[in-house]
Amino acid sequence: MRPTKKVLIFKHSRTWSGDRCSAWFESNGYQVEWCYPCEGQSLPDPDRFAAAVIFGGRNSANDREAWIAEEHRWIERCLKSDCHFLGICLGGQILARVLGAEVSTHADNLTEIGFVDIVPSEHAGECQSLPLKLFQWHREGFELPSDSTLLCSSERFPNQAFRHNSNVYGLQFHPEVNHSVIRQWFARNTDYESEGLDAASRARHLDYAKRNDDSITDWFSGFLGRWLEKT
C-alpha cells in the first residue's frame, strides 16, 4: 500500500535551506525524504511516496548530464503511478519536456529574476488567489504541454504554471522560497549584476519578500493542501 504521509523532495544544491515547502510538509505530519540526483544519488521508487516535488537549479532541462536524463525517466515513472507530482522552476521545465513541450530561452534573451507580476488565466482554479508578485530566477521557460491547463502567466514568460491531469503541476515561479532563502541566493550569486540585479534592486526584492511573507505562505500552504487532497 502506498504511504499516505511520505514525501520525496529532489534538491539540486545543499548551499541553501529553509524552504516553505518542506516546512509545510513537516508541520502537517509528513515524513520528508531528500534526494540529490546531481550528486549521483539513486532515485527511489515513486510508489513509496504519496507525493514528490522537484525544486529548481542552475542547470537546463535540455542539458545532457546523466542525472538530468535520470530525472526525465523518473518523472515518466511517477506519472504512471498514483504519486502526486509538483515541479518548481527546473522541476517544472523537466516535467514540461517529459510531456512533450519545448523548453527554451526568451526570443529576446530576456530573463526573470526577482519578484514578477503574475496574472491568473481564465482557468486559474487554485491559482486564482495568487499573490500579485512571485519570486523568479530563470532564463528559460516552458511551452504549455498538450492536455494541460494554463493557470497563470507573466509578461515575459506567458506559461507560468500548468496542471496536467488532476494531481500533476508545473510552476515556473518559486513559492517555496522566503526572504531568508532569497537572501541566501543573492549572497551566493553575486555574479548576476549584469542581469540588472544590483544592490538597490536586491534590497527592494528582499523588502518585498519580508512584507509579503505571510500572504505568499498562506497561498502556498493552501495550494499544497488542496493538491494533496486530489485523487
Please indicate whether residue 152 is annotated as part of the active site: no
Q: Helix and strand tally (H, E) in the chain?
A: 6, 12
Do strands 168-171 and 84-88 pair parallel, antiparallel, or not at all (unpaired)? parallel
Residue 89 annotated as catalytic? yes
Catalytic residue among 164, 174, 179, 205: 174
Residue 195: how many other CB atoms lie within 10 Å: 16
Q: Are 141 and 104 in contact (CB under 8 A)?
A: yes
- Can you point out the beta strands (E) in the chain? 6-10, 31-35, 51-54, 84-88, 103-105, 112-117, 119-120, 133-138, 140-142, 148-153, 161-164, 168-171
- Rounded CA-CA distance 113/197 in Å is 8
C-alpha–C-alpha distance, residues 205 and 6, integer Å: 34
Residue 174 is a catalytic residue = yes
Among candidate residues 140, 176, 179, 205, the one labeled active-site is 176
Let me know: does 152 contact 123? Beta carbons within 8 Å.
no
Q: Compute the distance between CA of residue 54 and CA of residue 111 in angstroms, rounded to an integer.
A: 21
Write down the catalytic residue from 89, 127, 179, 205. Answer: 89
Q: Which residues are catalytic?
A: 89, 174, 176
